């Protein structure tokens, strides 16, 4: 591997990277063809069974750390099969940069390696651009010039094929386009996979979990609605994700034919992987690479600690919910029934019973039963909302190990690339800005106030 990066042997390096890019190109075409096969289907008739995510048994906790306990109330979704297939397929490609990086690492799959080595062809015209600017706390994504919000309302059970097929649709109304659209969960899932495929260096929030049974139960529908609202709030407030053409198409398109055209256009998007890095406009301010490395290390420690803390809080809150709807409710009902029994016993001796006393005892019993019901309902006012937010954070945190690995891979690759000669220095200049800008724009994601200052 060290010889491959020697400036005396450029042919060997060029031949290797071209072969690698060719393999990635073939994989990308296979992915596009997979979706094109579905283009002739009804635009909203995607089989629900296709994306049922079966939660892994005995899996590690979020962020790749061992789980400290069960994950009630819904754990983050597993990575799509596409990413797992890419990982397996690329594991056969050996090593590249002088530090013996694995070919199935996110550093390779994201396209950053090809970008560093200058194997990404420059395009004469790039329609999209995402800027990074220096803020008061460091580099951050440039804010969306046209901010908006989007409501998620009215989950409604729909049927088709004369009732043979049922699904839940959600009413979406973006503030910058006052005409509502109706989307199924499958549409959200399609968008989520498009976002993962395009924005490999951005932490894309996970969708609410999917389940095969009980999809039409009221509690599950309400829970999914709450979490889709949080997901949509994150998406619309993100400076980059909110501007994605595929996301805008998802929020606005109402015509079946136009939907298929936009869907196909998003699936054939060329500005993905390494090419997406060409759309980033970096700041001109100088950034010390060692300072960036130190800040990434600090954020790595923070994300690890926050991941553990979020998981702990989730477990404690979930256990409290279980007690509210189970133990507390049951105990207060038992206490209420005991008071009712006392009232009933006094009524068995009419000559000496007092109606006022009996009524008071009976009322006390009913009050305790009502208190039990209040305990059961209380999580809907606080704990459920907190758990929904924690679930969103768990999903975001689970993405950061790969993003941090990209930062580390860039630094390692820089050391190897400095010996390659002048032909790679333009890419290095862009890379330095990318490390300081995009990396820290994402790293401040969980600490921001959600106003686009990421």
Does 317 map to a domain?
yes
In sequence order, the 6+-apart residues with CB closer than 8 A to the CB of 137 are 444, 453
Does 445 map to a domain?
no
Does 178 map to a domain?
yes
CATH of the domain at 34: 1.20.1270.60
Does 27 map to a domain?
yes
User: Which of 323, 336, 338 is closest to 366 using CA atoms?
Assistant: 336
Average of pLDDT values for 111-131? 66
Give 51's pLDDT tier (boundaries 50, 70, 90). very low
Better-predicted residue by pLDDT, 203 or 288:
203
Chain-centre distance for alpha carbon 279: 22
Does 435 map to a domain?
no
Looking at residue 299, its pLDDT comes to 87
Structure tokens at 135: 């803020």
Does 450 map to a domain?
no
Looking at residue 137, its pLDDT comes to 78
Average of pLDDT values for 241-245? 93
Burial class (CB in 10 A: 0-12, 13-18, 19+), 364: middle
CA distance 110 to 429: 19
pTM of the model as a whole: 0.70
Does 147 map to a domain?
yes
Better-predicted residue by pLDDT, 110 or 40:
110
Average of pLDDT values for 158-162? 83
Question: Do the beta carbons of residue 226 and residue 170 sit within 8 Å?
Answer: no
Does 156 map to a domain?
yes
Give 139's pLDDT tier (boundaries 50, 70, 90). confident
Q: What is the largest CA-CA distance in the chain?
A: 112
Structure tokens at 70: 């069960």
Q: Which residues pair with 134 in a beta bridge?
A: 139
Kindly report, residue by residue over 411-449, the tens digit of the pLDDT: 665 555 555 555 554 455 555 544 443 443 333 333 333
Give 321's pLDDT tier (boundaries 50, 70, 90). very high
Structure tokens at 9: 């042997």
Domains held by the chain: number: 1
Kindly report, residue by residue over 331-389, the tens digit of the pLDDT: 999 999 999 999 988 888 777 678 888 899 999 999 999 999 999 999 999 999 999 99
Q: Which residues pair with 174 in a beta bridge?
A: 150
The secondary structure of 176-238 as a DSSP string is: TS-S-EEEEHHHHHHHHHHHHHH-TTS-PPPPPP--SS-TT-HHHHHHHHHHHHHHHHHHHHS
Q: For the chain, what percent of residues have pLDDT higher than 90? A: 38
Find the domain containing 19 and state its range.
Answer: 1-126+143-273+304-424
Average of pLDDT values for 193-222? 88
Q: What is the pLDDT of the chain when averaged over all its residues?
A: 72
């Amino acid at each position: 591997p060290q010889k491959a990066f020697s400036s005396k042997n450029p042919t060997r390096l060029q031949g290797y990277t071209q072969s690698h890019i060719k393999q990635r190109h073939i994989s990308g075409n296979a992915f596009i063809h997979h979706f094109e096969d579905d283009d002739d289907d009804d635009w909203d008739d995607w089989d629900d069974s296709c994306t049922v995510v079966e939660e892994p048994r005995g899996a590690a906790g979020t962020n790749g750390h061992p789980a400290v306990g069960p994950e009630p109330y819904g754990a983050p979704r597993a990575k799509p099969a596409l990413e797992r297939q890419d990982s397996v397929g690329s594991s056969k490609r050996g090593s590249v940069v002088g530090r013996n990086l694995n070919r199935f690492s996110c550093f390779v799959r994201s396209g950053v390696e090809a970008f560093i080595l200058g194997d990404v062809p420059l395009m004469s015209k790039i329609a999209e651009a995402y800027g990074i600017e220096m803020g008061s706390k460091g580099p951050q994504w440039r804010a969306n010039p046209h901010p908006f919000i989007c409501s998620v309302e009215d989950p409604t059970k729909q049927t088709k094929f004369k009732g043979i097929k049922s699904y839940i649709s959600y009413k979406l109304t973006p503030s910058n386009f006052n005409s509502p659209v109706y989307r199924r969960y499958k549409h959200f899932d399609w968008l989520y996979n498009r976002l993962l495929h395009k924005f490999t260096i951005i932490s894309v929030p996970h969708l609410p979990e999917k389940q095969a049974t009980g999809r039409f139960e009221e509690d599950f529908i309400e829970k999914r609605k709450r979490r889709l609202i949080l997901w949509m709030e994150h998406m619309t407030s993100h400076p980059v994700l909110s501007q994605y053409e595929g996301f805008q198409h998802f929020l606005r398109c109402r015509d079946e034919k136009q939907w298929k055209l936009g869907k196909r256009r998003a699936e054939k998007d060329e500005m993905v992987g390494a090419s997406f890095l060409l759309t980033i406009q970096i700041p001109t301010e100088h950034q010390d690479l060692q300072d960036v490395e130190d800040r990434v290390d600090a954020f790595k420690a923070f994300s690890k600690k926050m991941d553990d803390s979020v998981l702990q809080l989730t477990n404690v809150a979930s256990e409290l919910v279980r007690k509210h709807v189970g133990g507390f409710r049951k105990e207060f009902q038992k206490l209420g029934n005991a008071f009712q029994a006392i009232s009933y016993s006094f009524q068995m001796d009419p000559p000496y019973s007092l109606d006022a006393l009996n009524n008071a005892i009976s009322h006390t019993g009913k009050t305790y039963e009502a208190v039990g019901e209040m305990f059961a309902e209380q999580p809907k006012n606080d704990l459920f909302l907190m758990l929904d937010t924690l679930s969103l954070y768990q999903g975001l945190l689970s993405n950061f190990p790969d993003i941090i690995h990209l930062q580390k891979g860039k630094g390692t690759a820089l050391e190897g690339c400095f010996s390659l000669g002048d032909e790679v220095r333009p890419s290095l200049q862009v890379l330095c800005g990318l490390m300081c800008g995009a990396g820290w724009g994402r790293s401040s994601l969980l600490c921001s106030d959600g106003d686009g200052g990421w």
